[in-house]
């Protein structure tokens, strides 16, 4: 959320003209005074008056008639003034996909207290905006008349090729395609390697976006337990492979959400061996890798980089740079052609200027400088959250991720004894909402509604007094 901004002269004038219409100084069908008269009356420049009139016209309140002037087109009672405060809803039972929509609409997947103005933009984002702005300004005269190559802009793919190469993953440019974020990359990957009815193995707990995709693509899911320290349990996957015809496996070896687990190299090798034995497609979600507090881990794809590889790497800049870019990528191995085809069918192409701006930003070293700054900040925020939670002195189990944006909290009991936890995360959701606190309850991270005694807590934001107070309130709610 951006900080409240000061209003400009044209906005003040727009408000005055709007009031004039609402108070029927100018009625439906009547003509407003000429631009020159408005300039005199409101002591404003011609540009300011024209800007204000143009905005009222865009809202459908005025109509510009050639060589005549501006006429009122709406009755005052139909004019709505935009409201800024969020409506508080009474507590009600939740359903998991509705719950996810509710959280997304509140922009709260990674913030327990969304909607507060934050401070200045970080320097990395300032530089990014500058690069994108420059790319837009330098657009070639006729660019707007042409679509980009469906695979994506060569300049951006070259930067991604270099970045992946530094992580031990040597890919050709035609093995990389640009997508609309990682969620879209996962969609393209699963659509290419599976048919409706196929069985897909996922981490449990795992990313809710994948559960939604499986549902949409009519795929069957098998949940494989995932540990907070090492990720997907490969022995459990092996046992599942012996029992069911599993077609694909979606896995996040680097800082999986919600636990933040990093899969050790021996498990990665075991996973690829199993994939070979059972002819399994591996969809690798690498989105959190660049948030590593230490060295950025190599992707699983580095162990399987050839054009016929069975690992489909999906990622984006959403977690490491900006969720607002909606730019990601997919390296589809043996399914790459189908993936490209599908991208073209569903999107035609991505924005050339946006890709160019991002490519310049990376090439000029701003991305690596941003990551260096960000990792200290994220680690600090994680430590603050951990210290605060440990101060609660309960028997909660807390994951300690070395990257990513969140940790996983398993509720304990007040006594600390091994018995079912006292708190139900789904029941806590509406109670917290009444206090304007938004949590991400555990059942979101399971297709079968497990983890009712867990929540994901994000450390993506700084722990200012308001957020710390929200945590204290949450703790109080957990105990009532
Ligand atoms: C593990 C994981 N994969 C993919 C996504 C979606 O990423 P994008 O914003 O790039 O579509 C998210 C977003 O929360 C995520 O946590």
The verdict on 451 and 382 lying in the same domain is yes
Confidence of residue 416 (pLDDT cuts 50, 70, 90): low
Question: By three-state DSSP, how is residue 96 classified?
Answer: helix
- The string of DSSP codes covering 147-214 is PPPTT--HHHHHHHHHHHHHTT----GGG-EEESHHHHHHHHHHHHH--TT-EEEEEES--HHHHHHH
Q: In the predicted model, is pLDDT for residue 84 greater than 70? A: no
The verdict on 55 and 37 lying in the same domain is yes
pLDDT in tens, 131-165: 999 999 988 778 888 899 999 999 999 999 999 99
Q: What are phi and psi of 91, to 5 degrees?
A: -60, 140
- Cβ distance 268 to 218 under 8 Å? no
Angstrom distance (rounded) from CA 249 to CA 221? 10
| Ligand 1 binding pocket includes 323 (Cβ within 6 Å) | yes
Structure tokens, 223? 């949940």
Q: In the predicted model, is pLDDT for residue 79 greater than 50? A: no
The verdict on 270 and 305 lying in the same domain is yes
**CATH number of the domain within which 393 lies:** 3.90.1150.10
Question: By three-state DSSP, how is residue 104 classified?
Answer: helix
Per-residue confidence (pLDDT) for residue 346, from 0 to 100: 95
Domain count, the chain: 3
pLDDT in tens, 9-55: 989 999 999 989 888 899 889 999 999 999 999 999 999 999 999 99
pLDDT in tens, 172-188: 999 999 999 999 999 99
Per-residue confidence (pLDDT) for residue 6, from 0 to 100: 60
| Ligand 1 binding pocket includes 282 (Cβ within 6 Å) | no
The verdict on 193 and 285 lying in the same domain is yes
Per-residue confidence (pLDDT) for residue 77, from 0 to 100: 45
Pocket test for ligand 1, best of 318, 326, 327, 407 (most atoms within 8 A of CB): 318
Per-residue confidence (pLDDT) for residue 109, from 0 to 100: 75
Percent of the chain with pLDDT over 70: 91
The verdict on 186 and 140 lying in the same domain is yes
Angstrom distance (rounded) from CA 398 to CA 385? 10
- Cβ distance 30 to 21 under 8 Å? no
The predicted model gives 464-476 an average pLDDT of 88
Distance of CA 163 to the CA centre of its chain: 21
The verdict on 154 and 302 lying in the same domain is yes
CA of 202 relative to ligand 1 center, distance in Å: 15
- CB-based contacts of 31: which residues, under 8 Å, 6+ apart? 68, 69, 70, 71
The verdict on 324 and 210 lying in the same domain is yes
Pick the residue with more confidence: 416 or 452? 452
Per-residue confidence (pLDDT) for residue 423, from 0 to 100: 78
- Token match 């707990």: residue? 205
Q: In the predicted model, is pLDDT for residue 97 greater than 50? A: yes
Question: Residue 23's domain spans which residues?
Answer: 9-78
CA of 64 relative to ligand 1 center, distance in Å: 45
The model's pTM: 0.84
Question: By three-state DSSP, how is residue 370 classified?
Answer: helix
| Ligand 1 binding pocket includes 401 (Cβ within 6 Å) | no
84 is a domain residue: no
């Amino acid at each position: 959320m951006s900080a409240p901004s000061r209003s400009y002269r044209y906005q003040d004038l727009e408000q005055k003209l709007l009031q004039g219409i609402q108070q029927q100084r100018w009625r439906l069908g009547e003509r407003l005074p000429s631009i020159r008269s408005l300039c005199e009356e409101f002591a404003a420049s011609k540009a300011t008056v024209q800007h204000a009139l143009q905005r009222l016209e865009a809202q459908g309140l005025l109509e510009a008639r050639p060589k005549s002037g501006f006429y009122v087109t709406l009755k005052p009672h139909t004019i709505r003034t935009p409201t800024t405060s969020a409506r508080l809803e009474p507590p009600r039972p939740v359903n998991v996909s509705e719950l996810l929509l509710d959280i997304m609409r509140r922009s709260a997947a990674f913030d327990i207290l969304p909607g507060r103005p934050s401070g200045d933009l970080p320097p990395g984002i300032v530089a990014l905006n500058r690069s994108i702005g420059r790319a837009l300004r330098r657009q070639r005269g006729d660019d707007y008349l042409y679509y980009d190559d469906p695979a994506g802009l060569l300049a951006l793919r070259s930067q991604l090729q270099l970045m992946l190469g530094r992580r031990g993953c040597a890919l050709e440019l035609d093995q990389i395609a640009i997508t609309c974020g990682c969620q879209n990359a996962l969609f393209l990957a699963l659509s290419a390697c599976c048919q409706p009815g196929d069985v897909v193995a996922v981490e449990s707990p795992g990313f809710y976006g994948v559960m939604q995709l499986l549902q949409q693509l009519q795929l069957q899911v098998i949940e494989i337990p995932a540990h907070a320290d090492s990720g997907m349990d490969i022995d459990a996957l092996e046992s599942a492979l012996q029992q069911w015809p599993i077609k694909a496996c979606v896995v996040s070896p680097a800082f999986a959400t919600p636990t933040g687990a990093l899969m050790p190299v021996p498990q990665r090798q075991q996973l690829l061996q199993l994939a070979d034995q059972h002819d399994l497609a591996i969809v690798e979600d690498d989105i959190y890798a660049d948030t590593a507090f230490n060295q950025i881990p190599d992707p699983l794809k580095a162990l399987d980089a050839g054009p016929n590889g069975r690992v489909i790497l999906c990622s984006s800049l959403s977690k490491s740079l900006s969720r607002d870019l909606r730019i990601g990528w997919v390296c589809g191995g043996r399914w790459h052609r189908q993936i490209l085809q599908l991208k073209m069918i569903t999107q035609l192409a991505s924005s050339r200027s946006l890709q160019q701006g991002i490519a310049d930003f990376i090439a000029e070293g701003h991305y690596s400088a941003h990551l260096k700054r960000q990792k200290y900040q994220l680690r600090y925020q994680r430590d603050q959250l951990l210290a605060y939670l440990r101060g609660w002195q309960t028997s909660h189990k807390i994951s300690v991720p070395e990257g990513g944006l969140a940790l996983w909290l398993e509720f304990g009991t007040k006594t600390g004894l091994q018995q079912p936890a006292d708190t139900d995360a789904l029941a806590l959701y509406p109670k917290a909402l009444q206090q304007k606190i938004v949590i991400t309850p555990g059942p979101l991270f399971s297709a079968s509604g497990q983890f009712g005694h867990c929540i994901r807590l994000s450390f993506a934001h700084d722990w200012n007094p308001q957020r710390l107070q929200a945590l204290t309130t949450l703790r109080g709610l957990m105990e009532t």
